[in-house]
Chain A
């Protein structure tokens, strides 16, 4: 599975890590990762340490997660992006919608 999830002990923070290419083929796995058993999750962390690349459909999936997590009130951090991933997020100005660190 290229998508892994971990939950904090208090159950409030869920971390989703994507391995390899984050593109349309990851769609179902990514959706499962934020939908399944996520009652009580208030903070989201997308861990991109092992993400080699993301395309525009991945950007779309991040928007879907943002909607799911409460839209403008969502708390989502995107972490550990490599240069390519950071570039794509920057071109699309996603730092206006997500906290990228």
Chain B
């Protein structure tokens, strides 16, 4: 049928026990171009419905075997979610009976005798409704399928992300954290990575926005954070690189609020940077606490030349706790829409039982506040307990037999001079040179420590002439680092030179590190720790002695030589 008012013939099922009525209706509908099948009672109609699947059903109300009302009920049940309009054919006229037809699941009724114009109009109206219902159902199914697909993809994406992001030491015994399983898609990040010379870097962040853009931004952050930290770069170096990268890749208006901590267990020192996250907390064993406030713009906003990566320094002792969090904690809402807020946070932390992890304690409090019905999905917290020993044993790369490959005999000299001393940290570069020897890679932590101790001694005592005795009391300690910053900013006319020399011997080799500075030198034979004044300086040198096969100084005391013998171990020791 191509008549415009009836573009598509309908499949119509009619049931009427009156032969005359049935034949009249059948003829009328066929004339209008529809496909028609007819039944003599409800039972037959049901059977036909089942095998022929008509678009609409027209039922006489009173029929033998199964009446129209019951047949309608069963047809509707069979049709399920598909809309199959059921129209009752009736000579009844009282309102009650007609209403009963509709109550039984009928959609409308046609009074006998039939009027072809009305019938045609009603069929068209129901066809429109039927098709709209069909379209909506299809769209709903499509959306549902897409949503399932999206969730599936997120789970896979999360696995990929985890492999990149969680290579660190979040599972160290002194670290506690809480994050929603899908936190990467609400824009929160949480990383921890051991430093090659001991200590850890921690990063907690919160990207503006949700979903895919936030997750994509998190990937380069993870790469840079883990890559640079494990190569020995300092906190400010990592921060500058993160900021620069995010400025470049994120559109204006998107950024990453972040807190960065560098914890040095050996020196008992926390260095901290906060750009846009709520206060972090340093909770002393004594019960006092220090708020670690945001003093910087978030990452990804300022051009590199305006970005400030300076970190604040705090003394820490074993038993102190560090707590970092995103704003999900403050903004967690209860059923009345009240926020958890700073006052409750302070009260909760103040009421922490001694020895309890602040992360567990706070998560419990927030979940109690929001009520069990609410998902606490935006909570991201990271806690770290300061320990006396480095808790994160560096996972050594197990060396294959091929580890004896790489450069076997070489030497190099590298000198940093003038103002560069105040601006550039040569340690990652020097470590990189040494790591070209495959067999040395399983000792990267020790080598880095040796290089770092030598460099810091040369810089702080040789070049900057800082007296190590200052580092004893808490006040002297901060004075020492303030003075270090001040002198470093003005340093000129000095140099620090490293000479590295390596040769392979049998199943191992020997690395000699010489570090000379332009300072006046010191008397290496002077007694250490006299009156407890140079405990820290002494610790540096005794550490070098422990790690190496020998430490010696020239007469003037401005050149140290360290000999490091290594041997390839079977299990990557």
Contacts and interface: CB of A to CB of B under 8 A. Distances in A.
Interface of A: 56-57, 59-61, 63-64, 67, 90-94, 96-97
B255 interface: yes
A60 B208 contact: yes
A92 B252 contact: no
Nearest to B296: A93
B275 interface: yes
A78 to B, nearest CB: 15
B277 interface: yes
Contacts, number: 46
A92 B295 CA distance: 8
Contact of A97 (B208, B209, B254, B297): B297
B257 interface: yes
Most buried by A among B254, B295, B301: B301
Nearest to A93: B297
B278 interface: yes
Given A56-B257, A57-B208, A63-B301, A91 B276 contact: yes
Interface string B194-215: 0000000000001011000000
A57 B254 CA distance: 8
A93 B253 contact: no
B154 interface: no
| Most chain B CB inside 10 Å of its own CB: which residue of A57, A59, A61 | A59
A96 B206 CA distance: 20
A72 B135 CA distance: 52
A88 B275 CA distance: 12
Contact of B253 (A61, A91, A92, A96): A61
Contact of B294 (A64, A67, A91): A91
Contacts of B445: none
B232 interface: no
A5 B252 CA distance: 23
A60 B255 contact: yes
A61 B209 CA distance: 12
Interface in B290-306: 294-298, 301
Given A63-B301, A67-B252, A94-B297, 8 more contacts: A59-B208, A60-B209, A60-B255, A63-B252, A92-B298, A93-B275, A93-B296, A97-B301
Contacts of A90: 294
A56 B301 contact: no
Nearest to B278: A91
B206 A56 contact: yes
A92 B297 contact: yes
Q: Is the interface of A mostly helix, strand, loop or mixed?
A: helix
Nearest to B275: A93
B276 A92 contact: yes
Given A91-B277, A93-B275, A63 B296 contact: no
Contacts of A59: 208, 255
Instruction: Classify the secondary structure of B's interface with A.
Output: loop
B256 to A, nearest CB: 10
Contacts of B254: 60
A67 B277 CA distance: 23
Contacts of B257: 56, 91-92
Contacts of A92: 257, 275-276, 294, 297-298
A86 B191 CA distance: 29
Contacts of A91: 257, 276-278, 294, 327
A100 B358 CA distance: 35
A93 B278 CA distance: 11
B429 to A, nearest CB: 33
Nearest to A62: B253
A92 B293 CA distance: 10
Interface string B51-72: 0000000000000000000000
7 shortest A-B CB distances, which residue pairs? A60-B253, A92-B276, A56-B208, A64-B253, A91-B294, A67-B252, A93-B297
Given A56-B257, A57-B209, A93 B252 contact: no
A54 to B, nearest CB: 12
A63 B255 CA distance: 10
Contacts of A60: 208-209, 252-255
Contacts of B276: 91-93
Nearest to A88: B327
B51 to A, nearest CB: 53
Of B208, B277, B278, chain A has the most CB atoms within 10 Å of the CB of: B208
A56 B257 CA distance: 9
Interface in B265-298: 275-278, 294-298
A76 to B, nearest CB: 14
Contacts of B206: 56
A99 to B, nearest CB: 15
B311 to A, nearest CB: 15
B208 A93 contact: no
A91 B298 CA distance: 9
A64 B255 CA distance: 12
A94 B255 CA distance: 13
Contacts of B277: 91
A97 B302 CA distance: 9
Nearest to B295: A93
A81 B256 CA distance: 23
17 contacts: A57-B208, A57-B253, A59-B255, A60-B252, A60-B254, A60-B255, A63-B252, A63-B253, A64-B253, A91-B294, A91-B327, A92-B257, A92-B297, A93-B276, A93-B294, A93-B295, A96-B297
